[in-house]
């Protein structure tokens, strides 16, 4: 048996009729860039999230980069973020000539440690130059939104939520209120890369905000800094979502909650299988709490003994099981960021996670039989 890490073809089979109908309508219209589907998707995403404005862009990386620029973050400024994330989170800072300040992640949960964030805000020698925080809702689980809002107000600091992996993830506030990731910061950004919970058949991204000025700024920046064609108020980018991706995403958005529910059920099934085979003595499952919804963009286990991680990955590959490592090297140790002066040992939780975590197959169409096979092979590995 072969079990892929992710399989778009199964999803497409279920959507094929609707997708082909939509694509035919797009091509027949002759309008393939920034047309009616893009406008409708922006409105539908805005309604889904409860944000006033949603502005589509070419990809999640651009969503981050444009958001940093729209906040006028520039040379000499600092932005706090995590070293345990996809590269684009940090490149968005550097490409705007600012400097990242890394903060380690929480044990087990792997999101940015807000205690350490506050410590930096209070004690950094150049704390007045810290202009923003980019928390990452990693693997599909929310950072503490309630506390994040309090930090935003207390320190009068800008927040760009990197919700690229967590669309649909909910935080339950102590007063009973519910908010989705990406909706409490000055900006929330999303990626529609094909493997995301809401993914297109190419690249795509979205920026959401409740601030009219910031929304207009993103709209300008995505079309070369222009509000009116051929008249430019600033230097921007070419970062537009095309009609094809927008049309496909509109179909999938209607099924997003269904997809999330299926992922949650798959995760629960994994956990029950691991426990029934007593594998919890070798691995930790993804951590979750009752006050937040984990939407399982990735299902990431942690090996209690890191020396087995790479061996298990190779073993699973031999048996046709797809896996991935998110992320094998913390960004503070990447060659391109050597000038920041970080060294091994600076962020021990990140470094431990990089050596011990492993993503297993996870997608809505994954079958129980496939999950049973994955767990059976893992058990086989530890028996050896």
- DSSP label of 106: P
205, β-bridge pairs: 57, 191
Domain boundaries, the chain: 8-253, 256-383
> Residue 70 above 90 pLDDT?
yes
By CB atoms closer than 10 A (0-12, 13-18, 19+), residue 151 is: middle
CATH code at 8-253: 3.40.640.10
> Residue 108 above 90 pLDDT?
no
Measure the CA–CA gap between 218 and 29, rounded to whole angstroms: 27
CATH code at 256-383: 3.90.1150.10
Question: Two tokens at 215?
Answer: 């929304």
Tens-place pLDDT, residues 266-314: 999 999 999 999 999 999 999 888 888 999 999 999 999 999 999 999 9
Measure the CA–CA gap between 212 and 161, rounded to whole angstroms: 18
Looking at residue 58, its pLDDT comes to 98
**CB neighbourhood size of 62 (10 A):** 26
Measure the CA–CA gap between 202 and 19, rounded to whole angstroms: 14
Tens-place pLDDT, residues 118-167: 999 999 999 999 999 999 999 999 999 999 999 999 999 999 999 999 99
User: Residue 373 CA to chain centroid, in angstroms?
Assistant: 28
Looking at residue 278, its pLDDT comes to 97
Looking at residue 234, its pLDDT comes to 97
**CB neighbourhood size of 19 (10 A):** 18
Measure the CA–CA gap between 84 and 159, rounded to whole angstroms: 18
- DSSP label of 176: S
Looking at residue 289, its pLDDT comes to 81
* Residue-wise DSSP of 276-302: HTTGGGTEEPPP--TTB----SSEEEE
Looking at residue 176, its pLDDT comes to 94
- Mean pLDDT over the full length of the chain: 98
Tens-place pLDDT, residues 340-363: 999 999 999 999 999 999 999 999
Looking at residue 384, its pLDDT comes to 83
Q: Is the dihedral of CA 60, 63, 68, 69 positive or negative?
A: positive
Tens-place pLDDT, residues 260-276: 999 999 999 999 999 99
Measure the CA–CA gap between 358 and 314, rounded to whole angstroms: 11
- Counts for the chain of helices (H) and strands (E), in that order: 12, 14
Q: What is the mean pLDDT of residues 226-241?
A: 97
Express as a percent the part of the chain with pLDDT over 70.
100
- The two beta strands, 78-81 and 130-134, are parallel
């Amino acid at each position: 048996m072969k079990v892929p890490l992710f399989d778009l073809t199964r999803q497409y089979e279920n959507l094929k009729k609707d997708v082909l109908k939509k694509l035919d309508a797009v091509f027949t219209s002759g309008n393939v860039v920034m047309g009616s589907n893009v406008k409708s998707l922006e409105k539908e995403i805005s309604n889904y999230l409860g944000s006033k404005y949603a502005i589509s862009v070419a990809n999640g990386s651009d969503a981050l980069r444009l958001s940093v620029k729209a906040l006028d973050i520039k040379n000499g400024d600092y932005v706090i973020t995590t070293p345990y994330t996809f590269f684009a989170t940090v490149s968005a800072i550097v490409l705007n000539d600012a400097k990242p300040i890394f903060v380690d992640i929480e044990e087990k949960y792997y999101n940015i440690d807000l205690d350490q964030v506050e410590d930096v805000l209070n004690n950094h020698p150049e704390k007045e130059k810290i202009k923003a925080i980019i928390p990452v809702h990693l693997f599909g689980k929310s950072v503490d939104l309630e506390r994040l809002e309090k930090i935003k107000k207390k320190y009068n600091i800008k927040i760009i939520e990197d919700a690229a992996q967590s669309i649909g993830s909910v935080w339950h506030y102590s007063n009973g209120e519910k908010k989705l990731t990406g909706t409490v910061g000055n900006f929330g950004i999303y990626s529609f890369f094909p493997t995301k919970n809401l993914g297109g058949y190419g690249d795509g991204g979205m920026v959401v905000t409740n601030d009219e000025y910031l929304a207009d700024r993103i709209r300008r920046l995505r079309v070369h800094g222009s509000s009116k064609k051929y008249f430019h108020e600033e230097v921007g980018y070419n970062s537009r979502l095309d009609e094809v991706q927008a049309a496909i995403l509109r179909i999938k958005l209607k099924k997003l909650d269904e997809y999330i529910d299926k992922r949650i059920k798959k995760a629960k099934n994994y956990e029950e299988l691991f426990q029934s085979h007593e594998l919890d003595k070798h691995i930790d499952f993804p951590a979750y709490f009752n006050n937040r919804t984990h939407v399982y963009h990735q299902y990431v286990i942690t090996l209690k003994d890191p020396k087995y991680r790479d061996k298990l990955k190779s073993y699973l590959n031999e048996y046709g099981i797809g896996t991935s490592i998110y992320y094998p090297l913390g960004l503070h140790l990447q060659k391109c960021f050597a000038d920041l002066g970080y060294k091994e040992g600076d962020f021990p939780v990140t470094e431990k996670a990089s050596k011990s975590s492993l993503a297993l197959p996870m997608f809505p169409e994954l079958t129980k039989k496939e999950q049973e096979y994955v767990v059976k092979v893992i058990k086989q590995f530890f028996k050896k």
